[in-house]
Structure 1
Amino acid sequence: MAAGDAFEELRELTLRLRAECPWDREQTERTIVPHTVEEAYEVADAALAGDPARLHDELGDLLFQVFFLSLLLEERGEGDLESVARAVHAKLVRRHPHVFGDAEARTAGRVRERWEAIKIEQEGREGVFHDVPASLPALLRARKVQRRAAAVGYDWPDLDGPTEKVREELHELFAEIERSGRPGAETEPDERVAAEVGDLLFTVVNLARFVNVDPELALRATTGRFVERVELAERLAAEAGEAWTELDLDAQERWYERAKAALASGDRS
């Protein structure tokens, strides 16, 4: 089946759901967008997991979100799926003059520089941090802000800058922790410690940007590995007749290292 036919069938399905499903009839942009964000993260998880079948499935869920939100625009006479597609087509052509015009951009870095310049010169974007959504996850927003600053030349010339800045911020954080001590459980953090934690996270995001690592995806992957290792460690301990929650930290750490080694070797049994 041609892609156009598949898209038309999905559009007709979206129309029918909007008309006949009680849940779909009640939805607005505000109620749908949380689902859109969730689907985007599920696409990211599938891509990071290297699971083509799951990625295929999650991309379909995300595509439906685009169709549904476009339908909401159409109902108000403010656009439709066709206008959305044509607008993004025109924008991508405009932002790739090195492909569709006479401009030259021989590196990915130069493409990004031209991309930001076109936004300002041709699209009327104003300010260094134009259109950076406040609703972005904090790590992604920090990276986007840093990229915007770099686009106007406010950036380290090489990796030494962000590397040294991480060391500096880590030292400052430790100094504030030593000054304030550890707070009691469920109490307000020391304001200066909180500020230094934020500074350290911001500089780590900057370092990640310099080594082409998406901090949001990297942290999600690390968190996933930690969950997988602890769950396996708990199971291995249980198989040996030991209750994970009753073990001291040293014993838990030994099971954790066994789980880590097992997963590294591909043994999840």
Structure 2
Amino acid sequence: MLQPEKDIRRKEKLDAFDRLLTIMDELRLNCPWDRKQTLESLRHLTIEETYELSEAILENNLDEIKKEIGDVMLHLVFYSKIADEQKAFDVADSINAICDKLIHRHPHIYSDVEAKDEQAVKENWEKIKLKEKGNTSVLGGVPKGLPAMIKAMRIQDKARGVGFDWEKKEQVWEKVEEEMQEFKDEFNIENTAKIDKEKASGEFGDMLFSLINYSRFIDIDAEEALERTNLKFIKRFQFLETESKKDGKNIAEMSLQEMDKYWERAKNL
């Protein structure tokens, strides 16, 4: 049972959610823009909001995370409202569905199944999912629309869930080096002959897949790591643009050597 002070906070949380539901009802009834929205029209906006939440998390900006969670939650309530109007389901159905799923997929908490560590929990989860969805393949549950890098990570996780995996990270790194060597041998940078682009693309994909696999073994999220590098590059490049402009220079007319001086300064920020 919740402690008294926790009971108070629980009521505040429920009241806040009820307030959001009430506002959603009012907007859907009275606002021309909100009335016009459909499941399809909201989709790209939801994706945008999700990426904004992701960016706030990477920046560890708790105030922005709070705001972005609210934006994403609004979209989830919006979808449920539209579905309710179509007499398909409402927000209570969605919440109860996830509650039922969580209970079913955590038999080590709500039943008599044992799971001694995180890996055991993940393996149980994947096995239960396989039974629930009736997939003929372990990989059947990987969404086709995922970005390629995230899809590679999910594929590898699911394969690992049924025991198809390397035993040691050293083995994975050997595979990385093997793929890199194959790419280098096939498409030697010193060879100026025209390459077979399709074959090169396939070999490059193999190399990336093996690197993503290694990142998983050393507990690095490859997508997050690349996005952090993207943000770092943007910050440094914008420094280059701003500082060179202060010095009266046009970046489009600067040599690479000139740019590099600003780049080195940006690295020290």
Q: TM-score, normalised by structure 2?
A: 0.89
Indicate if the aligned counterparts of 1:98 and 1:104 stay in contact, CA closer than 8 A. Answer: yes
1:16 maps onto 2:26 in alignment: yes
Match of 2:251 in 1: 244
Counterpart residue number, 2:206? 199
Aligned to 2:98: 88
1:162 aligns with 2:172: yes
- In the TM superposition, 1:119-268 aligns within 5 A as 119-178=129-188, 181=192, 190-261=197-268, 263=269
Q: Give how far 1:181 is off.
A: 4.1
8 Å CA contact 2:81–2:90 kept in 1: the answer is yes
Structure 2, unpaired ranges of 5+: 1-10
Q: What is the alpha-carbon distance in structure 2 between the residues aligned to residue 63 and residue 214 of structure 1?
A: 25
> Take 1:29 and 1:198, find their aligned partners in 2: how far apart are those partners?
34
1:4 paired to 2:11 = no
Deviations 1:159-206 (A, max 9, x none): 0122112212222222333387487xxxx9711111112111211211
Match for residue 3 of structure 2? none
Cα RMSD (Å): 2.0
- Matched with 1:54 is 64
Name the residue aligned to 1:29. 39
Q: Deviations over 1:188-246 (max 9, x none)?
A: 97111111121112112111111222222211111010010111122223333433322
How many matched pairs?
258
C-alpha distance in 2, partners of 1:158/1:191?
A: 32
* 8 Å CA contact retained: 2:172, 2:210: yes
Moved more, 70-79 or 232-241: 232-241
TM value normalised by structure 1: 0.89
User: 2:166 is paired with a residue of what secondary structure?
Assistant: coil
Identical counterparts, % of pairs: 34
> Could you tell me how far 1:155 is from its partner in structure 2?
1.1
- What amino acid is aligned across from residue 228 of structure 2 in structure 1? A
Counterpart residue identity of residue 102, structure 2? L
Cα deviation 1:48-103 (Å, max 9, x = unaligned): 10100000000000000110011122112221100100110111111112222222
Q: Secondary structure at the match of 2:262?
A: helix
Contact 2:130–2:138 (8 Å) recurs in 1: no
Note the C-alpha offset of 1:140.
Answer: 0.6
Q: Is the 8 A contact 1:176 1:192 kept in 2?
A: no
Which amino acid in structure 1 is aligned with residue 128 of structure 2? I
Alpha-carbon separation, structure 2, partners of 1:116 and 1:201: 25
Distance 1:170 1:153 in 2: 26
Unpaired segments ≥5 residues, structure 1: 264-269
Q: CA deviation at 1:121?
A: 3.4
Q: Is the 8 A contact 2:240 2:266 kept in 1?
A: yes
Q: Match of 2:115? A: 105
Partners of 1:173 and 1:25 in 2: CA distance? 54
Give the Cα separation in 1 of the matches to 2:248 and 2:126. Answer: 59
Say which is worse superposed, 189-198 or 148-157, in terms of deviation: 189-198
2:50 counterpart letter in structure 1? A
Separation (CA, whole Å) in 2 of partners of 1:109 and 1:7: 34
- Of stretches 135-144 and 14-23 in structure 1, the one that deviates more from structure 2 is 14-23
CA distance in 1, matches of 2:235, 2:98: 39
The answer to which of 53-62 and 14-23 deviates more is 14-23
Q: Distance in 2 between matches of 1:12 and 1:198?
A: 49
